[in-house]
């Protein structure tokens, strides 16, 4: 092992990054303070992560007992030790009960050494990952209501469509449109209109309770609800409960009038050349009829 001067030791112990040096077999020959402290704070026995232990073996054992991330890390480290790659970078989640955390592991030969020693470092990348999660959320959700936006909905619908096609099961879609919303907006102003849309969004979100359900803000005052594995009759019941809940929000304008919604429901077992556009069109046509028949009602596709 090369000599570590006092200055270098202090410097390495001052870094937030967890650093270890391993030999060709994977045996740990040096760890800095952050490495030791992380082990102590996270209940990792020094018997598995301290100097003298085989880091590669620890990763291998975790990997073979089902921790696929540890298995991937071990494979990457082995490649670097064998000279198959110059370095290995690996981003992985390591959430604690109290917080979300991600780290990036890097394995690379120790520079200036004869090729017998390697540096393993773990760098906390949580801030970047949280920012990425936030950006992803913003790109998939409507900023006003927090519901899925069209882009998210289209991806979700496409997956649900293929799943339903394989399992030969019903997929339902309800298209909602607020009634006379222009009048509400014109009388009470755009901000009150926004509040109204937020409340309607909350009603829809509450109705989308299963993993195969998704509530979407489809357009300005148009919303949608996708219901996987739900028949036309049940979807119509859910749509009617939403219609009633919106009515009960008691959002008044022109003294006596209340905000209501109209809804069109369609169901299909996807097959053949049909595309998901068919389901949306059918629901849209039913919604049109609900508007024509006097609004504040639910109309099912295929009914007169």
Helix-helix angle 33-41:6-14, to 10 degrees: 40
Total number of residues that touch ligand GTP (CB under 6 A): 16
Measured from the CB atom, the residue of 197 and 265 that comes closer to ligand GTP is 197
Element (H, E) at 261: strand 261-268
Tell me if 173 sits within 8 A of 265, measured CB to CB: yes
Q: How far is the CB of 123 from ligand GTP (least distance, A)?
A: 42
Catalytic residue flag (residue 221): yes
Q: How far is the CB of 279 from ligand GTP (least distance, A)?
A: 21
- Binding mask 107-146 toward ligand GTP (x if CB under 6 A, else -) reads -------------------------------------x--
Tell me: does residue 290 bind ligand GTP (CB under 6 A): no
303 token code pair: 């009914």
Return d(Cα 278, Cα 34) in angstroms, integer: 58
Tell me if 121 sits within 8 A of 129, measured CB to CB: no
Measured from the CB atom, the residue of 179 and 282 that comes closer to ligand GTP is 179
For β-strands 88-93 and 102-109, DSSP reports them as antiparallel
Query: 3, 41, 132, 221: which one is catalytic?
Result: 221
Q: How far is the CB of 154 from ligand GTP (least distance, A)?
A: 20
Q: How far is the CB of 262 from ligand GTP (least distance, A)?
A: 7
Measured from the CB atom, the residue of 115 and 220 that comes closer to ligand GTP is 220
Measured from the CB atom, the residue of 121 and 262 that comes closer to ligand GTP is 262
How far apart, in Å, are the Cα atoms of 44 and each of 1, 37, 50, 63? 25, 10, 10, 16
Helix-helix angle 181-188:190-207, to 10 degrees: 140
Measured from the CB atom, the residue of 144 and 206 that comes closer to ligand GTP is 144
Q: How far is the CB of 194 from ligand GTP (least distance, A)?
A: 5
Tell me: does residue 254 bind ligand GTP (CB under 6 A): no
Q: 201, 172, 179: which is closest to 268 by C-alpha?
A: 172
User: Which residues 46-65 are close enough to bind ligand GTP by CB under 6 A?
Assistant: none
Return d(Cα 174, Cα 197) in angstroms, integer: 17
Tell me: does residue 247 bind ligand GTP (CB under 6 A): no
How many alpha carbons fall within 13 Å on the CB side of residue 1? 13
User: Which residues 163-222 are close enough to bind ligand GTP by CB under 6 A?
Assistant: 177-182, 185, 190, 193-194, 197, 220-221
**Residues counted in the chain:** 304
47 token code pair: 């018997």
- The binding site for ligand GTP (CB under 6 A) comprises 144, 177-182, 185, 190, 193-194, 197, 220-221, 291, 295
Q: Annotated active-site positions, please?
A: 221
């Amino acid at each position: 092992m090369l000599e570590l001067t006092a200055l270098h030791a202090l410097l390495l112990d001052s870094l937030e990054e967890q650093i270890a040096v391993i030999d060709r077999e994977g045996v740990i020959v040096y760890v800095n303070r952050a490495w030791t402290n992380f082990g102590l704070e996270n209940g990792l026995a020094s018997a598995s992560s301290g100097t003298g232990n085989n880091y590669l073996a620890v990763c291998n054992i975790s990997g073979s007992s089902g921790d696929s991330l540890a298995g991937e890390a071990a494979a990457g480290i082995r490649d670097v030790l064998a000279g198959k790659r110059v370095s290995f970078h690996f981003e992985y989640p390591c959430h604690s009960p109290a917080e979300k955390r991600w780290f990036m592991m890097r394995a690379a030969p120790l520079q200036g050494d004869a090729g017998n020693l390697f540096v393993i470092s773990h760098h906390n990348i949580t801030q970047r990952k949280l920012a990425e999660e936030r950006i992803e959320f913003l790109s998939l959700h409507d900023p006003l209501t927090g519901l899925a936006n069209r882009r998210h909905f289209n991806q979700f619908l496409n997956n649900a469509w293929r799943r339903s096609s394989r399992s030969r099961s019903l997929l339902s879609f309800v298209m909602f449109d607020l009634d006379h919303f222009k009048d509400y907006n014109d009388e009470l102003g755009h901000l009150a209109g926004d509040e109204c849309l937020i409340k309607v969004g909350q009603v829809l979100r509450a109705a989308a309770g299963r993993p195969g359900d998704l509530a979407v803000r489809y357009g300005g005052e148009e919303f949608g609800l996708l219901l996987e594995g739900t028949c036309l009759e049940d979807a119509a019941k859910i749509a009617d409960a939403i219609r009633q809940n919106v009515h009960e929000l008691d959002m008044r304008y022109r003294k006596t009038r209340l905000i209501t919604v109209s809804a069109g429901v369609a169901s299909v077992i996807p097959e053949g050349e049909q595309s998901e556009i068919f389901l949306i069109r059918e629901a849209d046509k039913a919604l049109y009829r609900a508007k024509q028949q006097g609004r504040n009602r639910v109309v099912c596709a295929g009914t007169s």
